[in-house]
């Protein structure tokens, strides 16, 4: 036969050889947890934090969940939606995991949700904050154990107007769903309280050079609200200071701008930044102090909210599995149990899910301060039991469109 | 007889590809589907790279145009498979016609850079034209292909066969094109442009048509890509994707249609299976590329041909791509 065809046949046979279908007869084997996070790429350090949080809980729990051994399979999504989807396929179809967990980026969260629903394997989203996943586009099999992007922004917006007294705020935020939603929540309550957003700048996700944006910031505002993530959080404060803005315009923003993930790499330029989030490593409760101490000892760094939410997510899986006597093979029962879990003493405080599947939890307003030569997010105010809808009745809230670039509209922008 | 043997070989290959769904686990079938779509994409680039000798670093643009056509039309306008397919191909072809006018003013490295820039233009549009493309969020929830035929293409197996049909169409049409006098002229242009010119061939027109054909089939593959993932985002159009397509062609063996197919298969397998065992899979992939360029510049196909010919020891050859 033709040489070319011979080559193709050899190639395809090689592929089929890999297909060796090992028929593993599953008895009550280990509980398999599939983890999808970026382990390489720009968000690799976040993925590492998440895996650390998860493994620390399992270690403390003697590598078992509801009395059964645990097997954790970590897959690298590389921060890319199509890779995440392929790994999702692998974990469900190949590895037959009982529960999934992970991911960082909202857009990947949206991409995976319909697929997770198709597979009927519960997936925990401890970090992904895309509002609509528990609002207008709920996915039945996605259990959000983290937060929504706008959840901390709602109480913060009011608080900034009433307590900090800023009346006009300029916004600079990452141009993607997470950025739009964090800003949207802030704008809604800030403007309802009487404030005005006078400017909105949207640098693309991953921007590291903010010069073109910093020159545009209106100097007549009272403060600047900055929403940065990952590598941008590392670069922004210094550039803000170097542009001479720190001296004139106080910096507030979304929690990820100054979270524990980036604080160790920042210097004095971060001091004074006020942001809201569902967690702070500086939170002074016995549970959190224990958690921070254990994490620091094991991994030599302060835990971020990525670590905490993953740690708590592992505990969440354990609690749900215990509630159904470890019978995680029954996916419907497992999902129902996951949705009923309540944790009164997580490191970040008490958590339980609302009827839409998002945690009701404390929101902490934090201020970056230096203590013993380290930067910490000192908690200066606590809002207890905040839901994703803040004070609005859910049906009313859901009538408005999801926060986006254009919603709420910038009525006071020039 | 060579003709009969080739037909037999082809038949056997089709048989294996056709039976694959019954022999593979659903995950491996998904990978195979991905490999076949990547093969279509790589073949389309090979028309430009292997046959015409023009290396393009912007080919992901056409993948993106086809994929985004599906994304936008199916989620916002309720279009079915045929509507999205036609628009995807027409859009990719149209853009190729425009880009070709710009890029073909240059050759060699300059051509490479211009195609890179043009690819970035499409990426930039995908990322910033948020009202149309949803920007970095991408377009999720692309429904399964609806062909208006009595059987559904929602199951992985049915979808695989649909993709296989697309692959065969690509293989057949491109096969006819590259074996035609036109295709031979492209090869001539690759070997020596000046000589072709002195022989009276309209070199620029040949290159332009080749460029358009590559773009059109790139869009065609892009349509299947969007349906496969159910999702399209700017990462599908970024430079790294263009480079990967180029590498599939180089690894497999340019100047053939089989080479890119093999290269696509190898790279998809490597990316997905190796990354399970180590986080350093990129290193392994890189090492394979380097070794291929040094020891098998004609890719896997070239290397195997040489082996089958009972060739002498492979000499170290340094050959630039393009």
Long-range CB contacts for residues B286-292, cutoff 8 Å, separation at least 24? B288/B251, B289/B247, B289/B250, B289/B251, B292/B250, B292/B251
Do the domains spanning A31-148+286-357 and A153-277+363-399 agree at the CATH topology level?
A: yes
Contact B6 A5 (CB under 8 A): yes
What is the structure's pLDDT at A9?
Answer: 61
Contact B9 A8 (CB under 8 A): yes
In the DSSP assignment, the letter for residue A228 is: -
Residues A280-334: tens digit of each pLDDT: 999 999 999 999 999 999 999 899 999 999 999 999 999 999 999 888 889 999 9
**Span A23-49, mean pLDDT?**
79
Whole-angstrom distance, CA of residue A170 vs CA of residue A217 = 7
pLDDT at A22 over 50: no
Nearest to A108 by CA among A86, A93, A91: A86
Residues of chain A with C-beta less than 8 angstroms from the C-beta of B262 = 7-8, 11
Residues of chain A with C-beta less than 8 angstroms from the C-beta of B278 = none
- A residues 184..223 contacting B (CB < 8 A): 204-205
What is the structure's pLDDT at A11?
Answer: 55
Nearest CA in chain B to A16: B24
Contact B233 A21 (CB under 8 A): no
Percent of chain A with pLDDT over 70: 93
Percent of chain B with pLDDT over 70: 94
Contact A177 B137 (CB under 8 A): yes
Residues A104-134: tens digit of each pLDDT: 988 888 889 988 998 999 999 999 988 888 8
pLDDT at B176 over 90: yes
Computed over its alpha carbons, how large is the radius of gyration of chain A? 22
CA distance B98 to chain A (A): 27
| Nearest CB to A1; choose among B8, B276, B279 | B8
Name A259's Cβ contacts closer than 8 Å, sequence gap at least 6.
A233, A275, A277, A304, A305, A377
| Nearest CB to A93; choose among B27, B130, B308 | B27
Nearest CA in chain A to B277: A75
Contact B261 A8 (CB under 8 A): yes
CA distance B141 to chain A (A): 7
pLDDT at A13 over 60: no
Whole-angstrom distance, CA of residue B166 vs CA of residue B36 = 9
Residues of chain B with C-beta less than 8 angstroms from the C-beta of A39 = 279
Count CA atoms within 13 Å of residue B160 on its CB side.
Answer: 20
For chain A, how long is the longest CA-to-CA vector?
82
Residues of chain B with C-beta less than 8 angstroms from the C-beta of A18 = 28, 269, 273
Residues of chain B with C-beta less than 8 angstroms from the C-beta of A16 = 16, 20, 23-24
The phi-psi region of residue A108 (left if phi > 0; otherwise alpha if psi is between -120 and 50; otherwise beta) is: alpha
Contact B9 A39 (CB under 8 A): no
Contact A90 B276 (CB under 8 A): yes
The answer, yes or no, to whether the previous bond of A408 is cis (omega within 30 of 0) is yes
What is the structure's pLDDT at B6?
Answer: 67
- Is any Cβ of chain B less than 8 angstroms from the Cβ of A111? yes
Most confident residue range from A22-31, A258-267, B306-315: A258-267
Q: What are phi and psi of B286, to 5 degrees?
A: -60, -45
CA distance A132 to chain B (A): 13
Q: β-strands A31-37, A68-76: how paired?
A: parallel
Residues B126-146: tens digit of each pLDDT: 988 888 888 877 888 888 888
Nearest CA in chain B to A405: B130
Residues of chain A with C-beta less than 8 angstroms from the C-beta of B128 = 204
pLDDT at B57 over 50: yes
| Nearest CB to A19; choose among B24, B272, B301 | B24
CA distance B56 to chain A (A): 23
Residues of chain B with C-beta less than 8 angstroms from the C-beta of A1 = 5-6, 8-9, 12
* Axis-axis angle for helices B81-103, B203-229 (nearest 10): 140
Domain spans, chain A: 31-148+286-357, 153-277+363-399
Average pLDDT, chain A: 89
Contact B279 A82 (CB under 8 A): no
Residue A95: count of CB within 10 angstroms of its CB? 15
Distance of CA A316 to the CA centre of its chain: 16
CA distance B190 to chain A (A): 22
pLDDT at A267 over 80: yes
Residues B80-98: tens digit of each pLDDT: 899 999 999 999 999 999 9
Contact B127 A204 (CB under 8 A): yes
Q: How would residue A25 be classed by pLDDT, with cut points 50, 70 and 90? A: very low
* Range B28-237: architecture per CATH: Orthogonal Bundle (1.10)
Residues of chain A with C-beta less than 8 angstroms from the C-beta of B300 = 7
**Span A253-274, mean pLDDT?**
90
What is the structure's pLDDT at A18?
Answer: 47
Q: How would residue B72 be classed by pLDDT, with cut points 50, 70 and 90? A: very high
Residues B253-311: tens digit of each pLDDT: 888 888 899 899 989 988 887 777 776 777 888 888 888 888 878 888 887 777 777 65
Q: What are phi and psi of A124, to 5 degrees?
A: -95, 135
Residues A230-246: tens digit of each pLDDT: 788 889 999 999 998 98
Residue A165: count of CB within 10 angstroms of its CB? 10
What is the structure's pLDDT at A26?
Answer: 43
Q: How would residue A19 be classed by pLDDT, with cut points 50, 70 and 90? A: very low
Of the candidate ranges A4-18, A194-208, A390-404, B193-207, the one whose mean pLDDT is the lowest: A4-18
Higher pLDDT, B309 or B59: B59
What CATH superfamily is the domain A31-148+286-357?
Response regulator (3.40.50.2300)
Residues of chain A with C-beta less than 8 angstroms from the C-beta of B305 = 3, 7
Whole-angstrom distance, CA of residue A358 vs CA of residue A130 = 11
Q: What is the DSSP string of B257-316?
A: SHHHHHHHHHHHHIIIIIHHH-TTHHHHHHHHHHHHHHH-TTHHHHHHHHHHTT--PPPP
Select A153-277+363-399's CATH number: 3.40.50.2300, 3.40.50.720, 3.40.50.1820, 3.40.50.620.
Answer: 3.40.50.2300
Tracing tokens 């015409």 back to the chain, one arrives at: B52
Q: β-strands A349-353, A359-371: how paired?
A: antiparallel
CA distance B108 to chain A (A): 29
> Do residues A238 and A217 make contact, with C-beta atoms less than 8 angstroms apart?
no
| Nearest CB to B305; choose among A3, A5, A21 | A3
**Span A263-278, mean pLDDT?**
92
Residues of chain B with C-beta less than 8 angstroms from the C-beta of A113 = 140
Whole-angstrom distance, CA of residue B213 vs CA of residue B92 = 10
């Amino acid at each position: 036969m033709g040489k070319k065809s011979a080559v193709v046949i050899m190639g395809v046979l090689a592929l089929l050889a890999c297909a060796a279908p090992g028929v593993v007869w599953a008895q009550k084997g280990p509980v398999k947890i599939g983890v999808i996070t970026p382990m390489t790429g720009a968000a690799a350090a976040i993925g590492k934090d998440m895996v650390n949080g998860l493994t620390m809980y399992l270690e403390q729990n003697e590598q078992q969940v509801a009395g059964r051994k645990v097997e954790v399979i970590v897959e690298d999504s590389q921060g890319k939606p199509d890779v995440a989807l392929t790994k999702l396929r692998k974990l469900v179809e190949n590895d037959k995991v009982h529960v999934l967990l992970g991911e960082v980026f909202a857009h990947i969260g949206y991409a995976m949700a319909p697929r997770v629903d198709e597979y009927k394997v519960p997936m925990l989203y401890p970090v992904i904050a895309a509002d609509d996943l528990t609002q207008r586009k709920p996915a039945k099999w996605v259990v959000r154990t983290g937060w929504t992007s706008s959840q901390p922004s709602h109480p913060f917006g009011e608080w900034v107007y009433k307590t900090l007294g800023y009346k006009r705020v300029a916004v600079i935020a990452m141009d993607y769903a997470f950025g739009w939603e964090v800003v949207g929540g802030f704008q809604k309550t800030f403007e309802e309280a009487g404030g005005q957003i006078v400017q909105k700048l949207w640098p693309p996700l991953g921007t590291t050079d903010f010069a073109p944006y910093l020159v545009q910031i209106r100097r007549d505002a009272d403060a600047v609200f900055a929403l940065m993530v990952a590598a941008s959080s590392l670069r922004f404060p210094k550039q803000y200071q170097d542009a001479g803005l720190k001296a004139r315009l106080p910096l507030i923003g979304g929690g990820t701008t100054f979270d524990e993930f980036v604080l160790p790499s920042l210097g004095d330029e971060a001091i004074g930044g006020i942001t809201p989030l569902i967690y702070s490593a500086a939170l002074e409760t016995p549970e959190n102090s224990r958690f921070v101490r254990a994490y620091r000892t094991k991994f030599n760094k302060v835990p971020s909210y990525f670590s905490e939410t993953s740690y708590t997510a592992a505990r969440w899986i354990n609690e749900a599995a215990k509630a159904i006597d470890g019978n995680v093979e029954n996916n419907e029962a497992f999902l129902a149990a996951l949705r009923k879990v309540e944790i009164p003493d997580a490191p970040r405080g008490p958590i339980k899910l609302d009827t839409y599947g998002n945690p009701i939890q404390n929101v902490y307003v934090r201020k970056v301060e230096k203590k013993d030569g380290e930067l910490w997010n000192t908690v200066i105010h606590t809002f207890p039991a905040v839901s994703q809808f803040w004070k609005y009745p859910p049906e009313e809230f859901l009538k408005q469109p999801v926060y986006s670039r254009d919603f709420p509209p910038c009525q006071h922008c020039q | 007889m060579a003709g009969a043997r080739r037909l037999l070989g082809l038949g056997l290959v089709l048989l294996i590809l056709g039976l694959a769904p019954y022999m593979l686990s659903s995950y491996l079938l998904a990978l195979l589907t991905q490999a076949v779509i990547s093969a279509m994409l790589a073949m389309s680039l090979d028309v430009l790279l292997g046959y015409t000798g023009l290396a393009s670093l912007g080919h992901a643009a056409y993948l993106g145009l086809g994929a985004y056509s599906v994304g936008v039309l199916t989620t916002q306008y309720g279009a079915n498979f045929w509507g999205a397919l036609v628009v995807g191909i027409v859009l990719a072809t149209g853009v190729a016609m425009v880009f070709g006018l710009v890029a073909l003013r240059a050759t060699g490295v300059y051509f490479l850079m211009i195609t890179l820039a043009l690819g970035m233009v499409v990426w930039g549009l995908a990322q910033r034209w948020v009202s149309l493309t949803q920007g970095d969020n991408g377009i999720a929830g692309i429904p399964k292909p609806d062909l208006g035929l009595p059987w559904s293409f929602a199951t992985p197996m049915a979808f695989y066969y649909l993709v296989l049909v697309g692959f065969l169409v690509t293989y057949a049409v491109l096969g006819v094109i590259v074996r035609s006098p036109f295709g031979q002229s492209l090869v001539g242009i690759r070997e020596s442009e000046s000589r072709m010119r002195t022989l009276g061939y309209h070199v620029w027109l040949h290159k332009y048509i080749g460029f358009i054909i590559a773009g059109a089939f790139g869009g065609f593959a892009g349509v299947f890509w969007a349906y496969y993932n159910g999702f399209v985002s700017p990462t599908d159009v970024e430079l790294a994707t263009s480079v990967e397509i180029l590498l599939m062609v180089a690894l497999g063996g340019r100047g053939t249609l089989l080479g890119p197919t093999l290269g696509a298969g190898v790279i998809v397998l490597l990316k997905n299976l190796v990354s399970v065992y180590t986080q350093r899979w990129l290193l392994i992939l890189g090492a394979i590329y380097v070794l291929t360029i040094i020891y098998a510049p004609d890719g896997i196909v070239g290397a195997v041909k040489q082996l089958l010919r009972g060739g002498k020891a492979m000499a170290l050859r340094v050959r630039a791509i393009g």
